[in-house]
Amino acid sequence: MEKALLYFDADNPYWNQSLLNLAGEDPGALKRLFKAGLVEQTPSGNYGLTQKGRSVLLDYAAECGVPLNLPGEKIDEDKAVWTTKFHILFDRSFTGRWSLKEYKHNVCMSFYPGIKREETWEFSREGKILWCYYDNPMVCAMLKKYPYSGMRARDKKPPDLEETMSWFAEQGFPKGRLFVDLLFLSRYDFPHYASFPPVPNDLWGFLNADRMFCFMPPEATDDNLHDFVDMVASVRLFLLYYSHVHLPGYTHFDTEDQENLNWVVWVAETDAKAQSIQRLLDPWALSLACCELPLHLKILSLEKLQNLRKSYETIYDLLFHESLNVVSPDDL
C-alpha cells in the first residue's frame, strides 16, 4: 500500500502534489493512487478518497489495530486544503521542545448561551469596542448559577455536566458555536504534567495546555472589521462558558498555578496581507484585549512560515520572532 494513502483522514480529506511535497512525501504517489482507483481528482485539482480507497484504509486499520477517522460527507474543500497546508508549515516551524503538540482541524465548539452580535459587543462613539455580553440576562443567569471560576473554584465541587445541560435546556438558552479552522494545544513540560489525571468535563482537553485558536481571515477591509471582532467575541464567550462550566479552576491557570495562554491567531496568505490585518485592527487593539478574559491576538502568514530557514525550539520563540502582534494583556 502507498504510504501516501495514510495521509487521508478526517482532518486532511484532500491532498495535492504541492501539499505532499510540503509534507516530505513523493508527489507522484497521487498519480499511482489515482491509477489504482483509490483516489479521485476534484475540479479544483485536489485528490480525495474513492469508496475503494476508504475500504482499503478501513481494512488496514482493522488489520493493524490503528484508530482511523475517515473524512465526512460535507466538507469545505478549499478550507480543508488551507488547514492542511497551515498545519504542515506551522508544525515544521518549531520543534516543540519539552512539549506535546496537538492539532484539531475545522472544529465546531459549542457554548452557552449563544447571544446576538448586538448583545455581545458594539462600537462606541469614542472609537472603542464595548463588550456588553456581561449585561445579557442569559449570561447573568449562567454566572449566577455557576459563579465559580479561577483559583476560587478549586475547592468547590465542579458542576455535573448532565445536570448542567439539563439546566440550559430548561432555561431555553440557545447554543452558541465557535468555528475554528485549526485548534492547536501546546502541552508544555509534558512528562511532568502527565502525572495529573484528566478532568471528566474537560471535553476539549484544555487542562495543562496553552491554546491557539487559528483562523483563516477575511480580506482586511473596513466592511469586514465586524467579522474579525466576531471571531474574538466567539472565543471570549466560549472561554467564559468553559471556565465556569467545564473547567472551573483550571482554564486560565494550570495545576501548578502557571498561566495558560489563549491565543487568537489570524493566518494570512502573504506578509502583505498580514500587515493589512494589523493596520485594520490597530485602532481597536486595546479594546479588543480588555475585559476579564486575557487574550493574546497575533497574526502569522503562510508566506513567512514557508520561507523560514530554521525551526524554532518552542512555540513561544516562533510567535515572538515571526508573528505580528495585534495586542496582548501586557499592552494594557
Look at the chain and report how many structural domains it folds into: 2
Residue 13 within a domain: yes
Task: Calculate Rg over the CA atoms of the chain.
Answer: 21
Q: What is the pLDDT of residue 197?
A: 83
Span 78-126, pLDDT tens digits: 999 999 999 999 999 999 888 899 999 999 999 999 999 999 999 998 8
> What pLDDT does residue 292 have?
66
pLDDT < 70: residue spans in the chain: 1, 291-292, 332
82 is a domain residue = no
**pLDDT at 189 (0 to 100):** 84
- Is 269 a domain residue? yes
Q: What is the pLDDT of residue 1?
A: 57
Instruction: Give tens-digit pLDDT for 166-201.
Output: 999 999 999 999 999 999 999 988 788 888 888 889
> Does residue 197 share a domain with residue 69?
no
Q: Indicate the residue among 17, 41, 73 that finishes a domain.
A: 73
* Domain match, 51 and 93 both: no
Instruction: Tell me the pTM.
Output: 0.94
Q: Are 254 and 260 in contact (CB under 8 A)?
A: yes
22 and 136 share one domain: no
What angle do the packed helices 137-145 and 161-171 form, to 10 degrees? 150
Task: Identify whether residues 99 and 225 lie together within a single domain.
Answer: yes
The pLDDT value given to residue 13:
96
Q: Which three cell numbers stand for residue 57?
A: 484504509
Residue 81: inside a domain: no
238 vs 48, 71, 253, CA distance in Å?
33, 26, 16
64 alpha carbon, distance to own chain's centre: 30
How many helices (H) and strands (E) in the chain?
12, 10
Range of the domain at 52: 3-73
Same domain? For 198 and 246 the reply is yes
Q: How many residues does the chain have?
A: 332
C-alpha cell at 186: 501546546
